[in-house]
Every structure is written in structure tokens, then in C-alpha cells.
Structure 1
């Protein structure tokens, strides 16, 4: 009841602050959607129907539309799209119109004032960071040079699972492995190794597991992702931003960001100092590249913010996709058998899978792509903003509209996908001789988006995900725990991850000498 009173209070506050804007004279209608109230739009419905993404998708079902318009606050139109054809109009046909990002408090805090390539509005800062990230950080040459860092983490992943299996073997004839924990920490350690040239937390547990500090840091990273572009009330009433935290998003986000920065910022400051004193003269990792970038020179704040963004962009999709794939495979063993068969055929059992094998691992990649389609980590793509009034699919899209492509809606659109709720990797297999790629430029699903705001790390993200899944399938047999008949593949109510972390039984399947 108290929350309703607060929202009612907001109505009166904003009724006195904001004038009513005249409706546009554009002859085209806005996309269908709920009727907004004066001054506040649909903010009450959003506040009372949590989580917001489920409310939005329910509205799309109610209005039977692939493009929805919700007005939040006095003037912000939120446009949600679940049709590939309409999505391509936004991000391909009119890419230059929807090239910017909104001014959102969560993005402002995470990017330290929109300093990063992913969250900056269209302008000089975005152009500068885009060149640096694409040409210097994520170039093929740099990725090849840092392959040993990734290989090191693949070896340590194998070691940890093997140690856990041996430790528990007498009790359950195998080892109980928390796939979510393993996948998330693999991704985090891998990107830390590429950024810092080592693990951020070198001292883990004796069996190779994460330390308490590492657990806290990874948890804080995922906590940060939870609030990024999370439809906070203050984002639609900018005049009260910083004065009222109605839904508690700002307080919670600042808390997890403090944990993330407490570990990384001193390390970055120390490395900058080492370069300034001349004690370090060669670039070994991504942090060195950012510090020594010549023209333009990056500030410490730009470096710190961009590193946080790189970490956030690396840990979510790969770990979530692999957890879902293993869960689906355990419930349908034929899928697992086909993946194992491909690995045995391409790699064999006398060596470990390597990045050079990826082009031939089409079934493994098809499984990952199907997880990206059916089980995306985030319900929406990061929002785009229209920089001028325009028309899309016969609808008027006002300047300043926030455009969200629905990963969930595109990937499960029944007009695009046959039997869309079924996990079927075969739908992604292409003609013999062609490789499966994890991206989709036609936006029938979203893994890495497309256009000028598309993810610059498609190659790295594809490599990380494929090596993670291939490594744990090649190295171990996987079974459902003995006290279960199947894996419960239910989504969490708050997000699209599995409601319960996946736990499975592992048993080594390769010759003993291959395990570190």
C-alpha cells in the first residue's frame, strides 16, 4: 500500500512540474499500446507490474502486435519490437536514425558519465571509443596474441572439474558440479586474464575453485547487469533524478559498483603508475593497450569505465547459454550424444579441443545459437534512441523514443520459427561445407545485434562460448543427479536465467594424462 501512495504522490508532483505537450501533427499513428495518463504516462502500471519485461511482453500479447508503444513519464515513448522485419527497419534501413543511446542513470553510473563505447550517446566520445575498441582492443591480431591467456583458463576449468570429480567420486560415483558457477567464473577469469595478464584473484581454493573475493566480485558484476537499462522510474522523470530513488535501483546499483571498482581501480592506478615511471615498456594485455593508446590519449576514468563494460559484455551471454544447453542436453540425451560424437570426430580423445577446431564444430555452435534464440540472458537489446522524428512500418516514431528489440520476442516469434519453444539445434545447421555462425544479421534472433551499434566483440564472444561448451562436453560425461528424474528447465520469474542453478554429475571421459 505504501508503494501505491508514493506513486500517487508522484502524480501530483509531476502534474505541477510538467506542462501537457501538444500531440504531434504527424499523419501516422503511434504503434499500438496502453493509453497513457497525463503527465506520468504508464508509470503506475510499470511500477505495479514487476518484472517490467514480463509486463511488456504480456501487453504485446494483449494487443496482438509485434511493435508496441508505451509512454513513460511526460514525454518518453518506449518502443518494443518482436518482428525481424520491423527490427531490420530500425537497425538496418534506418540505422543512422537510431544510432544513439538514452540518458539512463544506470548507464551513466556504470560508464562514469557515458565514457564507454556501448553506453555513450551518438557523438565524438562514442566515435573515439568505437575506433579504439574495434581497432586496438578487439582486432584479430590482438585476439590471436592473447590466445595463450584464454588457453590457460580452459586448462584451469578442466582442472577444477576434474578435482571436484575426484574429491567426491567415492560418494556418488562422480562429482556434483554447479554449472552456473563454473561457467560464470570461467568467463570472468578469462576476460580478467586478457585484461590484466593474470587472474584478478590469483589465490583461489586449493582445488582450483574461486576464493570468497572472486565470488563477491562476480556476484557484483551480475548485480550490475541486473540494473543496467532496468526501467527505473527516475529515468523517465529526469528533473527528480538524484533527488528521489523511488524503486531503489540507484542505491543497489551504487553498492554493487562499489564492490567491482574496489578490486579493479587500484590495480589500474598501479599499472598506470608503472608505465609513467618507465618500469613497463611493452604491452602484454588489454590494460596495457588502453594505457598506451597514443592518439587520442585515454584518461584513467575512460580506461576504468571501458574495462567494466568489457567485463559486463563478456560474462553474461556465454555463461547463461552454456548452462541452458547442458540442461537441455541432460533432458534429451540424444543432443549430448551428437555433440560428443562431433567432438570425437573433429578432435578425438587424445588431445584437448583448441580454438583452431571451432570452424568444424558446427553442431556445438548450433546448440549455442539455439540457446541464444530460446534462452537469451537479457529480455531486450540495449535501447537505441531516435535522433529525429521518423516513420517505421507505417507508425510514427517520435524523436527521443527508446527502441528496445525484444530478444525473447524475436527468438520465440511463431511467424519466424517453427515450434519456437522447442530446443532444436538442427534448425541452425546449414549446408555441408558452410560454417554455423552465432550472429544473425537478419535479426530473427539477437546474439550480438547488428548495425553501427552492434557488438564489436562477436568473434571473441563466439570463441569464449564455443570453447566453454566444447571443453566441458569433451572432458566429461554428464548425468542428471541420482535424486532427480530430469532437470527442471523453468525460467526465473525475475529474469530469463534458470530458476535454480544447474547442478549435474560429471565423470572424466578422456585419458588420465590429458587432465592437468
Structure 2
């Protein structure tokens, strides 16, 4: 027994001694694995996507109280981003709606280039619903079949290179009428003052109205003895004011979008403004459209003369009208508000800035004289050579966008941006045109109007272009929601500005030492329309209509 006990004890000791290193190794491995798992979990937790920085939201209502109590909203957003020292923010509105303002070009490119397919939709709100006729158009509608259908029509039927060339004579007529009007206004005023905003806005509306309806005037126009020859009549003044009202309200923040039961109460007065503006626009549009449809249906018209004819004559595979009258009416309104704003605003701001810096005005004038001479007016064929003129317009787009934010992009799924920020599905992404163009990380002396910067940074190109593919500022948007009318928009704004520079010598009004460049209270326009002295500098015969 003693032998067995001793032997057994020895065996146990031997086994334990033999197993001990393995046990130590197992425990060490367990500790190492546990430590590694904890580290990886912590690291994973640390890298968990988070929302962009933003103000702490209230329960349920989010940051709506701040939005409602700080007008205009864009100034509150700008101050918020400045105080937080961020180029992307997250503002939570009612429920789980996130608004994501962005002022960094690299992040903007992620949204509209890398993740373009995800952010190709639009929000639904009371104003876009009204203006688009219930989402029947292109720019204002959420991503889907209607958007694809209408964009295809815009790209292939209305704004194609062939169609652009087809309408050149109509654009030429309005460029000539612009000179005729400004010449007569300056001559008819004892002090030679010209309201530049009236000239630029009505020129833009005239161009697109001529292309859509093949007419400049809804009423008596310049045959009315009470208005300056070539200028707008009472009908056109009412109409243009209504169009620009729609421009400035279509994506404006409205509390009714978050509290639908408040619709109709019009607590901030915006609903009544938009509805009245739409009533005015439709008052002029609808009779023309309905009569033209009748002419096509009755066989009294068979040749296309304008956009309206093109839209009416489109057929489906069964030779039936491809578009309903409601779609035609809504798309024409959207075309108007999409085309008139950028060119008129850029030309007014550029001229205001350059009157305050006469050396810039002189350089632009010298360029046009060198390219065009003084025996004829600027033509569209001159545009590729007018690089300084285009640099001035680029600078106006950069420094003075027509609206603070681009049309909102809606996220169609959760997405990671910048490698760390979660953009939840349904978020409204706003490219901040104002802050992008004034980003001090991108632009030297960002608040200074300096066209020269666009000549230096032209990346070796022989010519300056108005588009900005790197989104250092926004002139024409990019991606699936990019502007299909870049060629038309470029042509309109360059012809408008070049004609004004070439045709007239501009100076400060009498008794004024400097143009006041203050912003309007609720937007990016000059607080007061630009009024300046315009003196013709070419032969009188060049200002007359043929």
C-alpha cells in the first residue's frame, strides 16, 4: 500500500509538473486574447460613426425652437458653425430629421461625386409641392421615375447642343434689346442713371420667355408710351417680381413642413406669398399653353418654334402626347425660376464691385475692346476669348451666390462621410454656397473681390470656364442633380455682362462716393438695387434695333 500511495503521489506530482507549463501558457493565452478582444472592442467603439457636431437638440422638437427664433436661419447656421469651428454640422429638427450644412469642398465632393447616387433625392415640402405642380418636374422632385423622365426631356429635347444653336437668334434679339433699353433709359434720365437690377432681371426673363413662348411681352410692352422703349411693361414687372418671389421661397425653411396641421394658417406669411406669386405666373402662362395645345390638336400648328412647341409635340410609343398639360405647365414654371436667377445676380454684383474698383472695370473694358473692337457688339462667338470677363463672373459666383444654400440633397440610405461622420437616411444635405466661396482654407483674402485669382488658378487652361468641378464655390451644381443648362446659363451671363461692359461707361451716381455692398435682410441680393450712371461708348447706330 505504501508503495502504491507513494507511486500514485509521485505520478500526480509528475503529471502536475508536466502540465504546469501548459496551464501557464493557457492562462497567458486567455489573458492575451481577452486583452486583445477588449482592445479591439474599444477600438471598434472609438471608430463607431458619429453624427457631425451640432447643437444639443431638445426632446421631440430638436433644434426647431432655435430655427424659429433666429431669423434669417442661415445666419444662425453660419454663427453656429463658426462657434463650433466646423465645416460640417448636424442640426436635428422635429422627430429624427437631420439638416447637414457643409462648407468644405472635399466633403461636398464626397456627397455629390463619390456618393452621388445616395444623395440624388429632394425633400418634399409645401413650396416645392406647389411650384412643381405636385412633383411633376425635374429639379424639385424626389428621385424616381418622374425625375428620370423629365430630366431626359431637358437634356435631350430642350437643352441639347443642337437646340442651343437653334435658339441663338432669339438670344441675339434679347441681347440687342438689352442695349436698346439701357441706351434709352440712360438718355431719358437727366442724370443718366440706370437701374441695373431691372435691366439684368428682365433681360434674363426675356431670353427664357422668348425661348419658351417666342414672345418678349405679355402686354403692350414698349408700345406703351408710359414706359421706356425696350423696357418692361406693367405686365412684365408684375410677372418678373412673381418669378423671383418663387426663386427665393421654393426651398426656404417653413414651420408648416414640420407641423403639417399648421398649413393654411400661414404663421410667417410665406404661404400666401408663394400662392400669390404662382397665381400671377399662371395667369400669364396658362392661357398661352392651353391655346397652343389646342392649335396643335386642331392641326393649326405643326412646326416647332419654341420650347412649348417641343414639349407639346413629344409623343409616346403609341403616338399619344408624352406629357400631360399639367406636366408642361409645371415644367415651364420650373424652367423660368431655374434660369433667371444666377445670371442676373452675378452681373449686378460684379458690376457693383467693379464700379467701386474702377481699375477692374477698365481692364474688363479693354479686354472687350481688344477682342470685339468698337464697330460691332459682342457676339456669342466672342465668349471663348473673354477670359477676364469670365473671371469677373466667377468671382461674383464665388463671393455673391444668389442664395445661401444649394437645393437640398436627401440621403436615401445611411452613409459615412469623411471617414467618420454618419449621415442618416433622410438627412437634408445643404451645400453652403456662401461659406464654400469664402472658405479661408481655400481662398486667400476670401472677402475681397479679385478676378485675378481665377486667371492664376485656371490649371493651365487656355480659357476660363464658369463651372467649378472641385466645388470650391458653386456656380452650376454637379452630379445626377447637376444643372443640365450649363451652356445656356454660361451664354446668358457672359453675354449680359459683356454687353453692359462693352456698351457703356459705368460710374457712381452723382453725390455717391461708393456703392453700398450691404446684403439684403433675408437673402444674398444687394440690399438696394444697383443704380449707376451709364454713358454709351459706341456709335449710336449700334444701340438701335433692326
Scaled to the shorter chain, the TM-score interval is over 0.9
Contact 2:414 2:425 in 1 (8 A): yes
Alignment of 1:1-400 (within 5 A): 27-168=48-189, 171-172=190-191, 175-201=192-218, 203-204=220-221, 205-238=227-260, 240=261, 242=263, 244-295=265-316, 297-393=322-418, 394-400=420-426
In 2: Cα distance, 1:378 partner to 1:485 partner:
28
Question: How large is the Cα RMSD of the aligned pairs?
Answer: 1.5
Alignment deviations for residues 382-415 of structure 1 (CA, whole Å, 9 cap, x no partner): 0000001111111111100000000001000000
Contact 1:76 1:236 in 2 (8 A): no
- Per-residue deviation, 1:201: 2.2
Alignment deviations for residues 80-126 of structure 1 (CA, whole Å, 9 cap, x no partner): 00000000110000001101001111101000111111011111000
Indicate the SS of the match to 2:532: strand
In 2: Cα distance, 1:248 partner to 1:494 partner:
14
Indicate the SS of the match to 2:100: strand
Change (3 A) 1:389 1:153: same
Q: Which runs of 5+ in 1 are unaligned?
A: 1-24
In 2: Cα distance, 1:165 partner to 1:445 partner:
35
In 1: Cα distance, 2:537 partner to 2:125 partner:
49
Alignment deviations for residues 53-93 of structure 1 (CA, whole Å, 9 cap, x no partner): 11111111111100011011112100000000000110000
- Per-residue deviation, 1:431: 6.4
In 1: Cα distance, 2:541 partner to 2:217 partner:
29
Contact 2:217 2:233 in 1 (8 A): no
Residue equivalent to 1:417: 443
Aligned length: 487
In 2: Cα distance, 1:483 partner to 1:246 partner:
42
Alignment deviations for residues 199-224 of structure 1 (CA, whole Å, 9 cap, x no partner): 14252235222111111110011111
Moved more, 196-205 or 325-334: 196-205
- Per-residue deviation, 1:245: 3.4
Indicate the SS of the match to 1:507: strand
In 1: Cα distance, 2:491 partner to 2:75 partner:
31
Q: What is the TM-score normalised by the length of structure 1?
A: 0.92
Change (3 A) 1:241 1:101: farther
Indicate the SS of the match to 2:89: strand
Q: What is the TM-score normalised by the length of structure 2?
A: 0.87
- Per-residue deviation, 1:293: 1.2
In 2: Cα distance, 1:405 partner to 1:241 partner:
28
Contact 1:26 1:396 in 2 (8 A): no
In 2: Cα distance, 1:482 partner to 1:206 partner:
22
Residue equivalent to 2:494: 466
Contact 2:387 2:464 in 1 (8 A): yes
In 2: Cα distance, 1:136 partner to 1:423 partner:
38
In 1: Cα distance, 2:162 partner to 2:52 partner:
45
Contact 1:225 1:312 in 2 (8 A): yes
In 2: Cα distance, 1:476 partner to 1:69 partner:
48
Match of 1:407 among 411, 426, 433: 433
In 1: Cα distance, 2:247 partner to 2:437 partner:
21
Indicate the SS of the match to 1:177: strand
In 2: Cα distance, 1:463 partner to 1:349 partner:
21
In 2: Cα distance, 1:326 partner to 1:178 partner:
12
Match of 1:504 among 532, 539, 542: 532
In 1: Cα distance, 2:105 partner to 2:527 partner:
28
In 2: Cα distance, 1:308 partner to 1:358 partner:
28
Change (3 A) 1:241 1:113: farther
Residue equivalent to 2:39: none
- Per-residue deviation, 1:26: 10
Q: Which runs of 5+ in 2 are unaligned?
A: 1-45, 222-226
In 1: Cα distance, 2:177 partner to 2:273 partner:
33
Contact 1:161 1:177 in 2 (8 A): yes
- Per-residue deviation, 1:253: 1.0
Contact 2:123 2:409 in 1 (8 A): yes
Contact 1:478 1:506 in 2 (8 A): yes
Contact 1:366 1:428 in 2 (8 A): yes
In 2: Cα distance, 1:106 partner to 1:431 partner:
40
Change (3 A) 1:432 1:346: farther
